[in-house]
Structure 1
Amino acid sequence: MREFGFQPSQDDFDKLLYVLCKRKHVKHAQEFFDRAKVELDFKATAKSYSILMRGWGDTGELGEARKVFDEMSRTGCELDVQACNSLIDALCKGGNVDEAYKFFQEMGSKGINPDACTYSMFIWAYCESEDIHSVFRVLERMKRYNLVPNVYTYNRIIKKLCKKDKIREAYELLDEMIENGADPDSWSYNAILAYHCEHSEVNGALRLLSRMKKENCSPNQHSYNMVLKMLIRIGRFDRAEEVWNNMGKSGFYPSVSTYAVMVHGLCQKRGKLEEACRYFEMMIDEGIPPYSSTVEMLRNRLLGHGLLDNIEILAGKMERSTSCSVQEFARIMRGNKLSVGERRQYSDSGGSDFDSD
């Protein structure tokens, strides 16, 4: 920059450090940092040191992170909460939570008050170590200081609670988020929705879908895919159809993955091959290219039941599609047909979990 008559600013300096660390080139960032202080006479700030500490922490080099912090202290650079958080983050990610907590206790004597980010790093560390009791202990302490975790931290706790079958506590935390003004996002609801779906709790899943809409957090592709997959798996085809129809009314339009859930699921259920074909045709009519695995599954089920005409009908419809990508998949539907002998062998071998419930 100097060659072109520009004097690099402190912000330029920090941005370069950040990019290097973000791309895991922390060693190069450190070398540049050390050289710039001497050759370019840059005065490193607390932000500069913080970037380096987080960089070393992300690569698991706790010793290097400590060295940066020690240098910062020696040079008399004013310590701030961001710098403290960077060291705590590095220690927590390295599994040294006790050391991080000891440093946390010393922050007050340094004239620095922990912020929500400080506490959140401990929450993430305790979630990682499955220590839910300590997670709630940190949350209680945050409440005493009127600090609120961000949505990402709440989501992490909710997901951990659901994995430990503490669904009541997960709902309570969801309510707490709303009360504290940390509006839940689709990840918040989907963590709980996944629990209901894994445990085949139809009413719980459908109530939560309805709640999402009422609380202005529209269910996304993952939400609907989970619920539809569960409903088909347990044979609640009527409710699956109801959810499908309500998607359109809510302004959600299914993608290839949602169609795939329907086609794959119905293909594996007794007497539902015609329904699977119907959803496949809907996808083709929408000009949505299917997954090759979806085409192959549907083709194999049709072959297994001797429905060669249906294969021709679907392949013809695909060839007439306005989507070139859809047209290309017609070759998979038509071109890889088994011979009659192979088809019989496939059918006689029970080639299908289609008839399984």
Structure 2
Amino acid sequence: MDRRGVCKSLYSYSIYMDIQCKSGKPWRAVKLYKEMKKKGIRLDVVAYNTVIRAIGLSEGVDFSIRVFREMKEVGCEPNVVTYNTIIKLLCENGRIREAYGVFDQMREKGYAPNVITYHCFFGCIEKPKQILRTFDRMINSGVRPRMDTYVMLMKKFGRWGFLRPVFIVWKKMEEQGCSPDACAYNALIDALVQKGMVDLARKYEEEMLAKGLSAKPRVDLGTKPHTE
């Protein structure tokens, strides 16, 4: 745009940066951010959120934290997306304790964590008990899990071979009045089959089929994919 004599605005920069991030080229978004600073363009919260994500992916989470601090210093108030972005980057880098620190800071500032906030933790925590504590904290704070929350946790516990946590999540799902879909049933059945509990797995498969849901083909249960 500059080559054609058209000045880039904050809005256009924000769009370009977001496109670069989504196309797997975060370093280009960072380059645009530096260009904005050089031109004295004041970033808003949307632009900062994109920059924090981009610089975290291209240069590391510590650089994201620097931009996060810069954002607050220039008077741009972070929002839930900002905090979620920092939390996710920290979690993905194994810095779970620091992520919890940002989580607490977020609440102190009056921003309520949402489902996405908790998903950041669930995707990266590697300790079943810690996941369950965080899951309880989520529900007790009034954040309602989505179906993909339950499925994510059951799949994770199932891969690890932990059945008890799978059933804890299943029970919570029922207590929350959430009717299991095909993905939830399949996650539970996969966990049971992995532990050799074929009879119980078959019981749940029959239950889901009775509800009109589609089960995965499983050799262990005597079900095979249809062939033409």
Common fold: TM-score over 0.5: yes
Shift in CA distance, 71/113, structure 1 to aligned 2, threshold 3 Å: closer
Aligned 8 A contact 1:66 1:87 in 2 = no
**2:202 maps to what in 1?**
277
Q: Which runs of 5 or more residues in structure 1 are unaligned?
A: 1-64, 73-78, 304-310, 312-331, 337-357
Aligned 8 A contact 2:193 2:220 in 1 = yes
Shift in CA distance, 218/253, structure 1 to aligned 2, threshold 3 Å: same
Q: C-alpha distance in 1, partners of 2:161/2:31? A: 50
Q: C-alpha distance in 1, partners of 2:111/2:2? A: 33
Give the one of 108, 111, 118 matched to 1:189: 118
- CA shift digits 1:148-191 (9 cap, x unpaired): 33333433332222121011121122223333344322122112
Amino acid at match of 1:71: V
SS at match of 1:195: coil
**1:121 maps to what in 2?**
50
- CA shift digits 1:275-317 (9 cap, x unpaired): 1012112212333233xxx1x20xx2144xxxxxxx8xxxxxx
Q: Which has the larger radius of gyration?
A: 1
Tell me how large the CA RMSD over aligned residues is: 2.8
1:301 aligns with 2:226: no
1:211 aligns with 2:137: yes
SS at match of 2:120: helix
**1:101 maps to what in 2?**
34
Aligned 8 A contact 1:148 1:180 in 2 = no
Shift in CA distance, 242/100, structure 1 to aligned 2, threshold 3 Å: closer
Q: 1:98 Cα shift?
A: 4.4
1:231 aligns with 2:167: no
Q: How many residue pairs get matched? A: 220
1:246 aligns with 2:172: yes
**Superposition pairs of residues 251-330 of structure 1, within 5 angstroms:** 251-270=177-196, 272-290=197-215, 294=216, 296-297=217-218, 300-303=219-222
Q: C-alpha distance in 2, partners of 1:180/1:85? A: 27
**1:28 maps to what in 2?**
none
Identity of matched residues, %: 27
Give the one of 91, 95, 118 matched to 1:162: 91
- CA shift digits 1:116-147 (9 cap, x unpaired): 23322321220220421221111112222342
- CA shift digits 1:73-112 (9 cap, x unpaired): xxxxxx9xxx2342365368363434632432432xxxx6
Aligned 8 A contact 1:228 1:243 in 2 = yes
Q: 1:113 Cα shift?
A: 4.1
SS at match of 2:213: coil
Amino acid at match of 1:191: C
Q: Which has the higher contact order (CA 8 A, sep 6+)?
A: 2
SS at match of 1:129: helix
Aligned 8 A contact 2:138 2:144 in 1 = yes
**Structure 1 residue runs of 4 or more that deviate by more than 6 Å after TM superposition:** none
TM-score using structure 2 length: 0.82
Q: C-alpha distance in 2, partners of 1:209/1:191? A: 12
TM-score using structure 1 length: 0.55
SS at match of 2:124: helix
